[in-house]
Structure 1
Amino acid sequence: MASNSQHVVENVLKQTALLEKKLKTTEVTKDIDVELDPGNLLSVDPNPINVKEFRQNREAFLKSVARDNTQLLFNNIWKLPVERVDEVILVQIPDATTNLPREKHVPKSNPLTRWEQYSKVKGIHKRKKSRKVWDEEEKKWVPRWGYGSKNDEEKDWVLEVPANADPYEDQFMKKRKDKKERVAKNEFQRLRNIARAQKLKIPGQGVKPKTLTKKPEVSMAIQAAKQSTASIGKFERKLPKEKPTRQMGKKRKFDPVCGNMADERSRETAILNSMNRKKPQIDVTKAVNKEIQEDQDYQRAQKGERKKPGRSTKKAKGSKKALPTVKKRKSGGKSKKGKSR
């Protein structure tokens, strides 16, 4: 039995030694104190990096430094006041001392609407309404709005006709129309609040007619009003001295589905010509005349002659070819070689 117990103790000691080698101690020493901010759970290590160890094994070195700094942070956290709530240990973390930058800018507060401004001046406080209200007819709590509410349109299977209303008027249609007008009014007020917040010009309710002062604007407005009918102004009455209005806008043209081959060839030729117009055009006549002139100048330079002032290439009027103009000499004159003509 003694040998067995001694063997067990030796095994436990070996396992403990191995565990101590794997687990490092909680005491960490640094040459320069690490700056700790428990409020942000932040630790800043100002110690210089050992370049030799870093180059030998980068991953192991970074893990070792991160482990030591984290251990120092947790040591500092366990020094803070601790309390137990429902068998859970809680630590009272102090306020942060390091100002960390925000990822996004601070959100701006929405501008006040007209009602919010009025309620602020008058001291009106908004009270939160309950989700359900009591319905006396059904003797139960129903939603304040939405499906199954007190004002649900499906519940009104009969409506009372007011005394001052038309007895043949559809009250159901009138109720739906009034609801649409209320929704449109709320949407208009919402858009007006947005425009006021952006300091834009706010129009009044309804569409104001535009004042037309110029004659073309008036004629265009009359033509648009006439063509706004179902027949596009075909059966509209005309004034006694009214001039026929011209066609407003461009009329679209469509090519026939089964056309002639000659027409198709001409269309393709027109497309190619339009594409070639965009390229720079070459004046063949001018290029040929320039080549002739350069050839003549080169031949004169080889013979040692000077360019005569009378010989020049001018483009004759009404012709496409440029002919050299030769100045006539007087009779009896001598040539350059001394021979008379």
Structure 2
Amino acid sequence: MEGQSVEELLAKAEQDEAEKLQRITVHKELELEFDLGNLLASDRNPPTVLRQAGPTPEAELRALARDNTQLLINQLWQLPTERVEEALVARLPEPTTHLPREKPLPRPRPLTRWQQFARLKGIRPKKKTNLVWDEVSGQWRRRWGYKRARDDTKEWLIEVPSGADPLEDQFAKRIQAKKERVAKNELNRLRNLARAHKMQLPSAAGMHPTGHQSKEELGRAMQVAKISTASVGRFQERLPKEKAPRGSGKKRKFQPLFGDFAAEKKNQLELLRVMNSKKPQLDVTRATNKQMREEDQEEAAKRRKMSQKGKRKGNRPGPGGKRKGSGPPSRKGKRKGSLGGKMPSGLPSLGGKRKGGQHQGGKRRK
């Protein structure tokens, strides 16, 4: 029994080893074509097993995929490997299969106006050396850029050309001319970019320079021309029987009547939250402006009231006012200490009014 058990164990071990080798070793009538750079394996064997599988070839497809994957892995183990941070890494070769592009090929960049003109006239670019001989300094210098030859910006003396204003600053004129050249080059660059992207340049009248204009385009251009004034068209004269211009604002977008239940629920919950909130919503800016306006109105009303009160006092003389023939009239206003003027609160004036309604030196009634 013991001998049989040992023999059985050895047979079982051999069978397991054979199964492992069978799993690793796969035999094909035609060898697969491998592209290890793309991890691609192409099987050119006829699918006879799949034809015999019937309407449900799932098991046969899994077995075929497993065998082809095993062959691909066997090829990967034949590549040179190296250990990187306790990991075994294989170097893949360059791919041999040209995969299709995800996006189309880029279009060639359109020519600029100068390139079109040069091609039309047959002008070919000539390579120029970077260094040129500078006669002023007597050495080779760069053609452009920093420390270039014939650098006119470093001159300390500029000859005034004939016919020019002798009082004109030639240095400032040269700087302004350079700024204009830079701006012109930038404008040409932007025009080339717009032409390359086929962008429509805006015209002065808001219409296309050529072609037929529709009724909407003409109306839009007329409306833009009317509001292009300092008053935004408010004082612009209108033709007889001309309708008032309508506002060209955005159209109001209403919510859908059905379908968007989440947005409707959210709006209703927000409305309920605002209605049930104990703390009212306060616009701080609006409240501050309102308070400031009220204070300004109160202060203006107080000043107006005080000015009216002063006018009434100056126009109507009191019982102790100035008497006729009592000396020269005052120039402007009342002088302090005069007979008909005001005196300090301690001493009553002669023509003033004492407490109790008694006059000291006023007119007597007959």
**TM-score tier after normalising by the smaller chain length:** 0.3 to 0.5
TM-score of the aligned structures, taking structure 2 as reference length: 0.37
TM-score of the aligned structures, taking structure 1 as reference length: 0.40
